[in-house]
Amino acid sequence: MRAVIQRVSRASVAVGGVVTGEIERGILVLLGVAKGDKEPDADYLAEKIGGLRIFPDAAGKMNLSVTDVGGGLLVVSQFTLMGDCRKGRRPSFDPAAAPEDAITLYNYFVQVVREKGIPVATGVFQAHMDVELVNDGPVTFVMESPQ
C-alpha cells in the first residue's frame, strides 16, 4: 500500500458536486492499494499515520499527532498512486490491485483508523472525485507499507 499524506487545515471531497466527506484540521490520505497487499499492510499504515507527529506543539516543533490535536482523516482511494511511469509516456497500472480487492482493503484501513478513535471522512471508491484541500505548511509525506 502507498499513501500520500498531507497535513491540512481543511479538506473535502465531492462527487458530482455533492460533498461526500470533509474535515477541518487533520490529514488528507490519498491511498493506493497494490496487488498482493493484505490486512497487515493496512494495519501498518493506519498505525503509522495515526501516530505520526506532524502537527506543531507550543514551541512550533512537529511533535503532536492527529489525535493529540483532535483532528480527523479524510481518506480518498487513489489507484493512480500505483501507476508506473518509468517506461513510455502512458502510465502502467499493472501494479494496482483489482477493484474488488482494493475496496476491501480500503474499507479495512478506514475501519482500523476509526477503531483508534480518529474521526474519518471518505470519498467514494471508484468515483470521479474533486478533492479540495488547504495544505498546512505545506507538509506532505509519502508512506509505503513494508511489503
Plot region of 36 (φ>0 → left; ψ -120 to 50 → alpha; else → beta): left
The reply to whether 79 belongs to the active site is yes
Set 80, 111, 126, 147: catalytic member? 80
Closest CA to 103 of 33, 44, 18, 26: 33
How many Å apart are CA 63 and CA 53, to the nearest integer?
5
Set 6, 79, 109, 122: catalytic member? 79
Residues 6+ apart with CB under 8 A from 91: 80, 83, 84, 85
Contact indicator for 131, 28 with CB cutoff of 8 Å: yes
Closest CA to 108 of 54, 30, 37, 24: 37
Set 6, 55, 78, 122: catalytic member? 78
Plot region of 88 (φ>0 → left; ψ -120 to 50 → alpha; else → beta): left
The reply to whether 80 belongs to the active site is yes
Q: Are strands 130-144 and 2-15 parallel, antiparallel or unpaired?
A: antiparallel
- Give the catalytic positions in this structure: 78-80
